[in-house]
Chain A
Amino acid sequence: MNDPYTVLGVAPNASDDEVKKAYRELARKYHPDNYHDNPLADLAEAKMKEINEAYDEIVRTRSGGGGGSSYSSYTSSSSSRAGASSDPVFAQVRAAINAGDFARAEQLLGTSSSRNAEWNFLMGSVCYKKGWVDDARSYYQRAVSMDPGNGEYRQALSYLNMGGYPYRDSGYGPPDTGLDACDVCTSLMCANLLCRCR
């Protein structure tokens, strides 16, 4: 196993608070919720496991053998499609999607004769997994309008509409909300004018 301090990116003499902060930062970044329906979810999960183990290791050595206290809930939320399919073909499609075999899922859907709500939902899922968000949204919307009572379809659509991975939370603020040079200059000029009024 790698050095736990290297994994968390802190110095070995860092304080407990610093370690905790670094851990929380990384855990937030690689949280399974951020990789929901992301083809790289397995890599993020492995990373998350590594971080948890590193944190537990540090806590254990520092407390002299006490139990670890990483957020165990973070590791155990691998999502699975729990929808029930009445059609055996759709069950196969769901299995193919979960296995990451999108070509097979698409082929099965292409040969299926029905074009019901579930078909649209599964087409949408395949598109979404491929990163084809626009097509996925159209299929999900069709699925929801054909079967408005289905929670699974509605949840998929609302998740898509939220926009996926929160890339903004990475230490940078969005550039357009900051002060720009002109703002600073104009306020300084105004201040200057006021100061000169005697």
Chain B
Amino acid sequence: MFGYIRPEAGELKVKEFGRFRACYCGLCHELGRSYGFAARFILNYDFVFLAMLLWRGAPRYETRRCAVSPACGRCVCASSPALERCAGYSVILAYWKLCDSVADEGLFASLGARLKRFALLRPYRKAAARWPRFDEAVKSKLTELNGLEKTGETSLDRAADKFASLLSAAAEDEPSADAQRAEAQLLYHAGRIIYIADAYQDLGEDMKRGRYNPIASRFGLRAPELSAEERETVRLSLENSLGLMASAFELMPSNYWSGALRNIICVGMPGMCRQVLCGTFENRREGAPRLRGRISAQQIGDEE
């Protein structure tokens, strides 16, 4: 259920796009540095968003090479507290999601998940030791979510609440209580949107395999087809959460990444929701954000 939080690249300034890509690459390098090569494969846009949200001050940039751009390297964000935190969080979340898939599927079907989990075991132990509070929150919320899935929870909100509160647990250590509240609300609704959009996206697949799907059980579906009225109901839930997310964002102190964050919240995510609802959203395997030509460190600009 990753990769739903992304910017609308066409609406970003070139400068903001370059910064966003530098942050994406920075997170990838951070994962490699702290948790080893295998951990770099769990990189996704959602945690880039989180890193930008939790960032304090301005980033430092440096040029680094990697397997994707071996020749002259790329301008990436140097290690920072926000990147360290998000790298740890993404390892923890990925590990518990894999545990979930291992438990859900049969011995052979889960072989891939088992292997991946094994590869992430050491990184996970390291991350959990560093961020015990987030680890605890993820573990307890996913266990509760599992419980709801077993009983076939019919309330979409109740099921979404678990994943949403899991994500809002990432809001901590804000300088002021007000900012913390706003951030928690923003992340809560981001989590809700991801959960509902993912359920909508997986509806057909889940029903074919007889898995629990919150939207199917909300409407008591027999076939993976929603009536216009049911679709409207889902749209309304997404729309309200988008609004609550944006309203919380406006109350947070602005930071270095505000331009890209506003793009994600006000354009990227509404666009994603529309695409999911009309069935044109493709959760493709993401590479680094692409743009023709190179963006130099000067173009990223640090005058702000």
Contact = CB atoms under 8 A, between A and B. Distances in A.
A35 B11 CA distance: 27
Interface residues of B, number: 39
Nearest to B241: A131
A106 to B, nearest CB: 12
A131 B192 contact: yes
A10 to B, nearest CB: 15
A82 to B, nearest CB: 23
B243 interface: yes
A40 B189 contact: no
A39 interface: yes
A167 B247 CA distance: 7
Nearest to A165: B243
Nearest to B10: A175
A188 to B, nearest CB: 18
A36 B237 CA distance: 17
Given A30-B250, A175-B10, A43 B161 contact: no
A134 B271 contact: no
A3 B274 CA distance: 41
Interface of B: 8, 10-11, 155-158, 161, 178, 181-182, 185, 188-189, 192, 218, 233, 236-237, 239-248, 250-251, 262-263, 265-267, 270-271, 274
The 8 closest A-B pairs by CB, nearest first: A165-B243, A167-B246, A132-B157, A164-B243, A165-B247, A133-B240, A163-B239, A135-B157
13 contacts: A34-B247, A40-B247, A43-B181, A131-B188, A131-B189, A131-B244, A134-B156, A134-B218, A163-B236, A167-B243, A170-B246, A172-B262, A175-B11
